[in-house]
Amino acid sequence: MAALIRFLRQTSWAWPLLLSMGFTASVAAWMHASERHELEDERLTLIADALTLEARISDWLNAEQATVAQLARHLPERLDEPALLSQPQVAEGLRRMWVSVTVLDEATRVRVHVPQQIPQNEMPGRERSGVSLDEGGLSAHWSTQLPSGGRLVIRFAPTSLLRQTLPWWLAQKYDVRLVDAWGQRIAQAGDALAQPGSQSYRVSLDPAMRETWLELNTRARHVPWWRTLPAVLMAVFVLLSAVASAMLRRQMRRTRRAVEEARTEAAWRRAIEDSLTVGLRARDLQGRITHLNRAFCDLVGFSAEELMGRMPPMPYWPPDEMEDSLRRHQRNMAGGAPREGYEARWRHKDGRVLDVMIFEAPLVDGRGEQVGWMGSIVDIGARKQAEERERRQTETLAHQARLSMLGEVASALAHQLNQPLAAITGYNGGALRLLEQHPGQDPMVLQALRRLGEQANEAGRIVQRIRAFLTRRAPQPERCEVTELVIRVLRLLKRDLQGVRLDLQLAPELPPVQADVVLVEQVLINLVRNALDELRVHAAPQLRIAAALAGPRFVRLDVEDNGPGLGGRSIEQLCTPFHSTKRDGMGMGLTICRSIVEAHHGGMEAGESTLGGARISFTLPVHPEAGQRQDAEAGSAAQR
């Protein structure tokens, strides 16, 4: 196969000659076929015109014979020249095409002859129509029997017959002749001789004129196609193609030598370029890519075939930075690229983002004219990643320092708040006992003091649990009913929930969970308060709290709202320390909540709510006893 391709390349100089010869042969075949079709069409037209003219002449002759027969029936017995000429048929016939009218007696002697006398030896004695020689040339006659005896002979000129019956358009196309059975010409309209190469056709005029034939010859001279001007032009074309092919072969040999030298030089240059780790890109003055090296293709992931000849926008430009990339391209084409280079963001074919440093320089040809721009591209992604990694490490250390400081502050606050809370509890208990011993106490005051004592105790428990959590003590899990936990949280936030449409979707017969009640309450309270903060400006605020099983080992709680949503932020971004969307927020609420949930071996996630706003969910493990009971029920159901 390779040898065949090489042979075709070496003999490519002969292709124009072969193609021209093939084209000439096809044109010659077409001309020959066209000539045959034209002759066939001309032949068919000639036959049709001959038959049409024959029918016209036969109709004319039949009508004349009928006139002769009518004249014979009405001729009087005593007849002389004036009486014969007085007959309307005779006068009309002599004026039309008759040469003479002769009446013969039974002995074939001439009785009457108009307009001239003809010798007795020239009068035919046959009973049928025929042709005889007259002083003006050949003529034809009709002979019919008279009722009183004798015969009526009418002589007419065939030439006049042709003039009477031949249409003008047939006279322009054909030479028309009347000939006898021996080919002797009786009458003719047109040239005396037929043109060489013309076609002819004969048709018999029997019985109107026996032994007489109508012959049509075409006037158009037929020249064979190989003797026409197109054939000469085709021969000249083939000759010129042969000369051009010889010159092309000579030029191809010179070009082949030059190409081999250029390929050797290009191979050396390509080897040098491919050995570089810097991407090279050449563009013309319009920005079209004209040259690339392998390092550039490896950098962007596109092959040279995919990029060569491309005009902006380039496929390695990021879609979200298309305008900036196009603006930089226009600046570079105008010669405004910085000499020290500039940074840019590109996109690899697989979708990952690249950070590159680009250096542009004018590309000058051998005549000293600028033909484009040459760019050197260096991948600085590793350097950028190192810088980003160093920056993140610095931020992480700063966050850890702030978290440690926050833990110490929270621990100190919890320690300092224990004594005031204990005092509040003691004073509240003493006041409550004094009012109970005093007669006539107010029930509302007693109820308020009891609630105050409950809240103080609850605050003390919260402070103790948060202090224990911040000092890295393990939570104190216990059996907890999810429904009671949700109802208790809603009772604490009853005032905040005024004006909000609350939708509770708590699955029936939820198993109890293993959790630290105080810490989980704080998680749920924080999530509900965050949702309420987002619903402050909403015209129809709506909140949904749902609880359901998430597999056999976990219970899932969802807090959803119809607020503005998360704006595309993930749970990792929301739980970043000191990251807050509120003006007065510290950015630690969700971080602490996620730490509490993960300390319970659960998980936390965020997404879009079906209400149109945000959804934040967390899971808690099912109490071990309830989990074993569910496993047993599932096993018995499988056995059944």
Residue 87 DSSP code = S
Q: 56 lies in which domain range?
A: 17-218
Measure the CA–CA gap between 329 and 345, rounded to whole angstroms.
13
Look at residue 476 in the predicted model and tell me its pLDDT. 77
Look at residue 121 in the predicted model and tell me its pLDDT. 38
Q: pLDDT band for position 64 (50/70/90)?
A: confident
Residue 450: strand, helix, or coil: helix
Residue 432 sits in the same domain as residue 499: no
Tell which of 178, 197, 218 closes a domain: 218
Residue for token pair 């049709």: 48
Among candidate residues 496, 484, 591, the one with its CA nearest the CA of residue 547? 484
Residue 47 sits in the same domain as residue 171: yes
Range with lowest mean pLDDT among 106-110, 262-266, 310-314, 435-439:
435-439
Domain count, the chain: 4
Instruction: For 151-207, write each residue's pLDDT tens digit.
Output: 888 888 888 888 888 888 888 888 888 888 787 888 887 655 556 667 888 898 888
| Comparison of pLDDT for 221 and 630, the residue scoring more | 221
> Could you tell me the CATH number of the domain that includes residue 343?
3.30.450.20
Give the helix/strand (H/E) hosting 311.
Answer: none
Q: Is residue 564 part of a domain?
A: yes
Q: pLDDT band for position 429 (50/70/90)?
A: confident
Q: Is residue 611 part of a domain?
A: yes
Angle between helices 517-534 and 443-470 (to 10 degrees): 100
Instruction: For 8-22, write each residue's pLDDT tens digit.
Output: 666 777 777 788 888
* DSSP letter string, 570-635: -HHHHTSTT--SSTT--S-HHHHHHHHHHHTT--EEEEE-TTSSEEEEEEEEBPHHHHHHHHHHHH
Residue 360 sits in the same domain as residue 392: no
Q: Is residue 282 part of a domain?
A: yes
Tell which of 218, 240, 261 closes a domain: 218
Tell which of 341, 356, 379 closes a domain: 379
Q: CB burial class (10 A; 0-12, 13-18, 19+) of residue 73?
A: exposed
The pLDDT > 70 percentage for the chain reads: 81
Residue 414 sits in the same domain as residue 293: no
Residue 351 sits in the same domain as residue 333: yes
Look at residue 617 in the predicted model and tell me its pLDDT. 92
Cα–Cα distances (Å) from 246 to 217, 273, 310, in that order, read 50, 40, 38
Q: pLDDT band for position 127 (50/70/90)?
A: very low
Residue 390 sits in the same domain as residue 375: no
Look at residue 197 in the predicted model and tell me its pLDDT. 67
In the structure encoding, which two tokens stand for residue 499, read together?
Answer: 């004006």
Look at residue 466 in the predicted model and tell me its pLDDT. 63
Residue 286 sits in the same domain as residue 392: no
Residue 375 sits in the same domain as residue 392: no
**372 Cβ contact partners less than 8 Å away, ≥ 6 residues apart:** 282, 283, 284, 285, 290, 362, 363
Q: Is residue 497 part of a domain?
A: yes
Q: Is residue 254 part of a domain?
A: no
Residue 371 sits in the same domain as residue 484: no
Instruction: For 373-400, write each residue's pLDDT tens digit.
Output: 888 888 888 888 888 888 777 766 665 6
Q: State mean pLDDT over 476-493.
A: 87
In the structure encoding, which two tokens stand for residue 256, read together?
Answer: 């082949």
Measure the CA–CA gap between 124 and 98, rounded to whole angstroms.
16
On the question of pLDDT at 517 being above 50, the answer is yes
Look at residue 134 in the predicted model and tell me its pLDDT. 38
Measure the CA–CA gap between 391 and 246, rounded to whole angstroms.
73
Give the helix/strand (H/E) hosting 72.
Answer: helix 15-74
Q: pLDDT band for position 132 (50/70/90)?
A: very low
Q: pLDDT band for position 556 (50/70/90)?
A: very high
Q: State mean pLDDT over 562-581.
A: 76
Q: pLDDT band for position 129 (50/70/90)?
A: very low
**480 Cβ contact partners less than 8 Å away, ≥ 6 residues apart:** 512, 513, 514, 515, 517, 520, 623
Strand ranges across the sheet with 212-218? 185-189, 174-180, 212-218, 200-204
Residue 206 sits in the same domain as residue 314: no
Instruction: For 584-634, write each residue's pLDDT tens digit.
Output: 555 667 888 888 888 888 889 988 888 888 899 999 999 888 766 666 665
Instruction: For 330-348, write each residue's pLDDT tens digit.
Output: 888 888 888 888 888 899 9
Look at residue 558 in the predicted model and tell me its pLDDT. 93
In the structure encoding, which two tokens stand for residue 526, read together?
Answer: 């924080």
Look at residue 402 in the predicted model and tell me its pLDDT. 58
Measure the CA–CA gap between 127 and 553, rounded to whole angstroms.
135
> Could you tell me the CATH number of the domain that includes residue 497?
3.30.565.10
Q: Is residue 437 part of a domain?
A: yes
Look at residue 410 in the predicted model and tell me its pLDDT. 62
Q: Is residue 229 part of a domain?
A: no
Look at residue 465 in the predicted model and tell me its pLDDT. 58
User: Cβ atoms within 10 A of the Cβ of 151, count?
Assistant: 19
Q: What is the mean pLDDT of the chain?
A: 80
Residue 40 sits in the same domain as residue 168: yes
Q: Is residue 256 part of a domain?
A: no
Residue 313 sits in the same domain as residue 407: no
